[in-house]
Copies of this chain bind each other. A is one copy, B any other.
C-alpha cells in the first residue's frame, strides 16, 4: 500500500464520517423543530429530544453544545424553511403587485398548515417577549428579516406603479401581519371556521385602498 492510497482512504473515511455527522444533526434538528412547534421553544430540552430521537443525551449534546444553541439552531432552520416556502418562490414572480400577492398567499397557506402544529415565530414572540438573551435576539432578527423583505416587495410594487405613490410600506406590512396574526389566533386558539377566508378578504380590502386601479381593462 502506497502512502498516497492510505491518505486517500483516510480522507474518504473522514468525508463519510462528516457526512454521517451532518445527517444525524439534520435528523435531530427535524425532531427539534417538530417538538418546539408543539411545545414551544421553551419546551425544547436536550433530554426531551434524546427521548424523541432514541439517542443518548450525550449524543444530542455532542451536536448542540447547549440548550440555547439548540434553540437558536431550530430558529435558523425554521427561518430557512420559511424562506424556501414563501420568499424564494415569491421573488421568482415579476416585480410588482403579483410578487406581493404571492408572498401573502404563500404566507396564508403556511399558517393554514401550521394551525395544527403551531408557528414558531408567533409562539416564540410571546414566549420570549420579556426574556432578553441570544434566543430572543435570534428570533427577533429572523422576524425583522422577513418584515424587511415585505417592506421591499411593497416598495417595488409602488415603484413600478402597482401601488399608490403615497403607500407607506411599513404601514401596509403592519396591516398584512395583523391579518396573519388574527388568522392564527382564531383558527388555532378559538378553532373558529372561516378565518382563512377573513384573512384573504381583509387583504382584498387592503388592496382596494393601496393598489392603483388599472387605467383600462387590459390588466
Binding site for B on A (CB under 8 A): 38, 40, 118, 122-123, 125-130, 140, 143-144, 170-171, 174-175, 177-182, 185-186, 188-190, 194-195, 198-199, 201-202, 205-206, 208-209
Contact = CB atoms under 8 A, between A and B. Distances in A.
A182 B175 contact: yes
A174 B182 contact: yes
19 contacts: A122-B126, A125-B189, A126-B127, A126-B189, A140-B189, A143-B189, A170-B194, A171-B198, A174-B182, A174-B199, A175-B179, A175-B205, A177-B182, A177-B185, A178-B178, A178-B179, A181-B181, A181-B182, A208-B209
Query: Which 7 pairs across A and B sit closest by C-beta, in order of nearness?
Result: A178-B178, A178-B182, A181-B181, A125-B189, A126-B126, A174-B198, A129-B189
Contact of A181 (B185, B190, B202): B185
A1 B58 CA distance: 78
A152 B197 CA distance: 21
A130 B194 CA distance: 19
Contact of A118 (B130, B189, B209): B130
Contacts of A123: 126, 129
Contact of A143 (B125, B126, B174, B190): B190
A37 to B, nearest CB: 10
A61 B180 CA distance: 40
Given A209-B208, A209-B209, A178 B194 contact: no
A110 B139 CA distance: 26
